[in-house]
Chains A and B, each alone.
Chain A
Amino acid sequence: MNEMLAATVSRAEVEDLFYHEADLLDSWRLDEWLDLLTEDAAYYVPPNDRPDADARYTLFTIADDMVRLRERIIRLKDPNCHAEYPQSRTRRMIGNVRVTGSEGDLICAAANFIVHRFRYNDLDRVFVGHYRYKLKRQGGRLKIAERRAILDAQELGQLGSVSFIL
């Protein structure tokens, strides 16, 4: 770990980023959310039975490179994205935010999440887990190079689809 790099970011700065991100996602400001990501960012939701796996060898729930992530946002904004039309209402609680280290020029950070999701004609579905982030300082801004949303549930089960950005 590069202690020096990790020390260049405070927990408060990481919290500000995560809280801002949660607000953008909950209010479906998806283009603004994309702008928080680096050009080569990746977004992962590992399978519930292999939370620590590598997407090259394991079937994930979501494993987006930036090309597919941009396409995912195009899809989510389309009224023909039936799984999210009408759009879910979500509310994210982010806690236990920590700067956990670094890898090369990336700062590692983690947080716990509870995401409540409400849909038309549906009950509350509660997604609980933790995030692992890799962050990159670009032009003074802290940007997201990788975000991994790891669910605690043993299986998706009654959570159903992960059709919104978790």
Chain B
Amino acid sequence: MNYQPSGHDFVVENPAQQKFFVNREVFVSPDVFEREKRAIFDRCWVYVGHGSELKNPGDFKTRPVAGRPVIFCRDREGTVRALINCCRHRGALVCREREGNARQFYCMYHGWTYHPDGRLKSVPGEDAYGGTFDKSEMGLVPVPRLDHYRDFYFANFDAEAVDLATYLGKAKDYIDLVIDQSPSGRMQIISGTQEYDIRANWKLLVENSVDDYHLVSTHSTWLNYMRNSGVNVTPPKGELLPTRGFGKDLGNGHLTTDNPNYRGRPVAKWISVYGEDAKADIDAMRNELVARLGSARAARVADTNRNLAIFPNLVINDGSSVTVRHFYPVAPDRMHVTAWALGPVEETEAQRARRLHAFLTFYGPGGFATPDDVAALEAAQLGFAAWREVPWSDLSRGMGKARDEQLATDEGHLRVFWRKWNEMMEGRP
């Protein structure tokens, strides 16, 4: 008889039975949704943006970070800042544009103005405040902590949190693999943002982003496209996928897939979709990698695909293109997704076009795969209406195998996320 858990825990792990369950209440509960904001999003390093989005002094982007309105900007001295977009006087947004270049931020309510570094610049009728008013203490409030790793900027609303480098831990190695594609070590966010809602709980997208088990059933039409384009996507006998890859625990709730590439890489693994014309160009990029990094590291960069999930809500997919995608819950059953393409700054027009073409074939709201992921997540969310009668999601694949034997089609790496999630929700350090 199959083991079924009892009790009220959200995450149930039973090694003896080789079972791991998550209670579906975590996907529907307004109480869990509220508690996650404080227990997770206010304590973790959450993604803000990439330094390349702010090319010049005064450049800014406004975006929500952990539910707060934030101005992500580069001040006149070139320092990157994340300022809470909220006037010190009566609270209105001081910047209501999506992006731009600002000499100052001007609150349209009563006319207070702030420098791009946050300092309060001027207050109409300042004399009415008497002698106790100190402008130097009334600047825009920065997020409590802001730091970056290789131009990926993160904020933390917990002033006591560990530093970003410690937090990222072994995930840094996988970010390094992404950056190593660029000869100068500089990657950039490519213009054009994909922003869309999914009517499903945000944690489902963490699972989905790294879950290779669903590829054949959810994405058969994409596999057909690859096959029609001359790419061999037929799994060897006894395998679920064309190549055998692994799911890895990177510590601190971070995890990744690590798969031998079969679906092509703009840097630098040719497939027939790119066309014969691209072969020489991709060979040259491969040679540059080998000369710069040595053949072993070059193969690591160019012959593996990695979907990296940084706890709690940032995913970097480095494969047929590079996507940077983060998502934030707006309700128990709805998340808001923001995704960008990332590429080496040196790319030629042809290389960039190839990268974007590959991105769009699979990813995004008009791709051949992402809309089916969205459909799967929304179908799961609809099913969760019966969470009381059918309470447990099963994430037991690969239980009983050693840690370094967990396949990307197993669920060992998904369990890494859930253990961390549970630990933080229970208030353990």
Contact = CB atoms under 8 A, between A and B. Distances in A.
Contact residues on B (Cβ < 8 Å of other chain), bracket: 35 or more
Contacts of A56: 349, 352-353, 356
A163 interface: yes
Main secondary structure, interface of A, reads loop
Most chain B beta carbons < 10 A, residue from A46, A60, A160, A161: A161
Most chain B beta carbons < 10 A, residue from A80, A154, A157: A80
Interface in A55-97: 55-63, 68, 71-72, 74-75, 78, 80-84
Interface stretch (B250-258, B369-377, B418-426): B369-377
B191 interface: yes
Contacts, number: 123
Contacts of B234: none
Given A59-B191, A59-B341, A161 B370 contact: yes
Contact of A80 (B196, B221, B366): B221
Contacts of A158: 197
Given A156-B195, A160-B374, A78 B224 contact: yes
B340 A59 contact: yes
Contacts of A80: 220-221
Interface in A121-166: 121, 154-163
Given A50-B191, A71-B228, A162 B356 contact: no
A75 B229 CA distance: 13
A81 B365 contact: no
A82 B191 CA distance: 29
Contacts of B79: none
Interface string B298-311: 00000000000000
B196 A160 contact: yes
A49 interface: yes
B368 A72 contact: yes
Closest 10 CB pairs of A and B: A59-B192, A83-B371, A62-B366, A155-B195, A161-B371, A163-B371, A47-B192, A156-B196, A58-B192, A75-B221
Interface of A: 45-50, 53, 55-63, 68, 71-72, 74-75, 78, 80-84, 121, 154-163
